Amino acid sequence: MTAGSLPADPGRVRTHVYQPRRVSGLLLLSAVVLNLGAVVMYAAGTEYGLVVETPTYHAWERALLMSSYVAAALGTAVLEPALAEAGAAMLGRLAAIAFPMATSVALVMEAVTFTEPEPYALIVVAVLLLFGAELLLGVALLASRLVPAWVGWAAVVWNLAWPVILSIVSPGEPSYPILHAIPLLMISIPLIQPRRQLSSLPA
């Protein structure tokens, strides 16, 4: 049997498929999909009245959004070892800590809105924590070069700019979940791509 005909090493195949960066990318992409699902349901029900928003409908809408926060936190946690290996151990750890903190506050905020009026102070804290967590992730990715530099810069600028913009144009309603999905989408795609494809992308 020639060397070219030897079967692939199963362990090597599993390592390639289940690389932390790729698993992280898939989790972050799932967070984006869940977020978009919740946004579409909100727009169809509350915003435009295209469907009757029953308690069950509302529960599914908020459950999708809550699941997106959890998926994003898991994706960042899985990525932490890869960030550490790439030289961004401290920033990766900070991002991995910040996401669960932001997720916990966001979950409490969503749970409270099921039965009570939206608590403005809690919403502001949750939104700022979510932006801050994504900002830390963007800085960590910039330091590690796991993704093209423009992705890291875009995430940093996005999460610095939008809290300021919202405080000016929408001070009474600071929560726009779609704003948290866009940076995750930009980050997830290069993480999912094989390294040989990533290396060919422009910095």
Q: What single string gives the DSSP state of each residue in 60-82? A: HHHHHHHHHHHHHHHHHHHHHHH
pLDDT of residue 55: 87
pLDDT of residue 2: 46
The two three-digit tokens of residue 47, written as one number: 């915003």
Is 58:41 a contact under the CB 8 Å cutoff?
no
Is 87:143 a contact under the CB 8 Å cutoff?
yes
Query: In this model, does residue 68 exceed pLDDT 50?
Result: yes
- Express as a percent the part of the chain with pLDDT over 70: 86
pLDDT of residue 141: 96
**Three-class SS of residue 30?**
helix
Q: Which residues contact 144 (CB under 8 A, 6 or more apart)?
A: 82, 83, 86, 87, 88, 91, 92
What are the distances in angstroms from CA 164 to CA 121, 125, 149, 156, 160? 17, 14, 23, 13, 7
Is 186:166 a contact under the CB 8 Å cutoff?
no
- What digits encode the pLDDT tens for the residues 47-61? 787 888 888 898 899
Query: In this model, does residue 99 exceed pLDDT 60?
Result: yes
Average pLDDT over residues 68-97: 95
Residue in the block written with tokens 């994504």: 134
Query: In this model, does residue 14 exceed pLDDT 60?
Result: no
Q: Mean pLDDT over all residues of the chain?
A: 87
Using a 10 angstrom Cβ sphere, with 0-12 exposed, 13-18 middle and 19 or more buried, the burial of residue 152 is buried
